[in-house]
A = this chain, B = another copy of it.
Amino acid sequence: MAPQPVFALLGRRLRLAVIGGGPGSFIGAMHRQAARLDDAYTLVAAALSSDPQTSVTAGQALGLPRDRCHADGDTLLAAEAARPDGAEVVAIMTPNDSHAHYAMRALELGLDVLCDKPMTRTLAEAEQLYQQVQRSGRVFCLTHNYSGYPMVRQARALVAAGRLGAIRLVQVEYVQGGRARPGPGRRAWKEDPQRGGPSLVMGDIGTHAHQLMRFITGLEVVQVAAEAGSIVPQRQTDDYAGALLRLQQGARGSFWVTQAAAGVENSLRIRVSGAQGTLEWQQEHPQVLQLRLLDTPAQLCTPNGPGTLPLAARASRIVAGHPEGFHEAFANLYADAAEAMAARRAGTVADPLALHFPNAFDGLQGLRFVDAVVRSSAAGGAWTDCATDG
């Protein structure tokens, strides 16, 4: 029983508030469960809905006292900042067009921030928020949850250790079927560019695929030749996007995302090849990382199985052969961010292994990538630069 690191440092849990994630939200429950799993946070306040009355009712249904159930995010931030026992961390899971606003405000008030992806609706917002995070010194965790899977972390650690040699080729695809039918379906705001951003599929899952690739390889995309568009009749926003990639160090890649593949559930897959071998991971069987090294039979790495590296080992709560899933990966981000927040508050240095959660720079890179794909597509697939500097 490893001691809960936050409790060990602070003698208490972190006081968490949430904005968004109310009735009908899948991701809201996920955030709150992730926060609970490792017991590093206490939920103290919420503004769950854009409807003030729903917001209060839903907060009370979670067991929060009436005075911590706020009508909206701005009210929450103001009220919590004014309390001595107010929230010290805020998790934002609203539609994309308000991420920047709430995050900026929370940082101004001195809170640490957990924010759902994409980090912001627009690239301009992302640049501004990134700068603000840098200035603030606060912890900013972007919940690109796939970075939290043990075998994704194993992949990153294997690449970092040079086990694949110099990275040459990357393939990443994220294929879903949720938007195979015409019409906006659930969460209609996503199909409104004024709320969801310039490219639905890129914001929704393209940034996940991009972050997964960067997280494992440690390489930035430097140029893209891309097309994004809609394949389902009558849809006004992108439901597929493809790109050829040029990455740092001369690596090349292929990128393909869509939410219009009828009947597919959630097929996120990545393959990374270096001079010495190739690794493959797919989200629907997250416990297995295939490692194919030259002149060696293919190996199946598993969480806490033989050869598990420290970055992966700390991301699993369980003995080998017992599956963990989406919740646990999501919770790993919450747990790692909590360690960073607790260390900041305690004036100590966090375990470097805790600092692999996606941050504001990752978020900025995501928006830059979306922007480059959209620009390349508009330019007839021309190779288009993607900035890599912080």
* Interfacial residues, chain A to chain B (CB-CB below 8 A): 1, 3-4, 7-8, 12-13, 21-26, 28-30, 32-33, 36-39, 48, 58, 61-63, 164-165, 168-169, 171, 173, 175-178, 180-181, 225-227, 229, 231-232, 240, 242-244, 250-254, 256, 258, 260-267, 271, 273-278, 283-287, 291-302, 305-307, 317-328, 380-383
Distance A286 CA – B325 CA, assembled complex (angstroms): 10
Distance A271 CA – B8 CA, assembled complex (angstroms): 46
Distance A8 CA – B264 CA, assembled complex (angstroms): 36
What is the count of identical protomers in the complex?
A: 4
CB neighbours (8 Å) of A292 from chain B are: 177, 262-264
Please determine whether B261 and A169 come into contact, CB atoms closer than 8 angstroms: yes
Please determine whether A278 and B296 come into contact, CB atoms closer than 8 angstroms: no
Distance A332 CA – B58 CA, assembled complex (angstroms): 23
Please determine whether B302 and A29 come into contact, CB atoms closer than 8 angstroms: no
Distance A343 CA – B142 CA, assembled complex (angstroms): 39
Please determine whether B278 and A322 come into contact, CB atoms closer than 8 angstroms: no
Please, could you name 28 A-B residue pairs with CB atoms under 8 Å apart, sorted by A? A1-B21, A1-B22, A4-B62, A7-B62, A12-B63, A33-B37, A36-B36, A164-B262, A169-B240, A169-B260, A171-B256, A180-B294, A227-B252, A231-B250, A232-B275, A244-B244, A254-B254, A262-B274, A263-B273, A263-B276, A263-B298, A264-B292, A291-B297, A296-B306, A298-B299, A322-B325, A322-B326, A323-B326
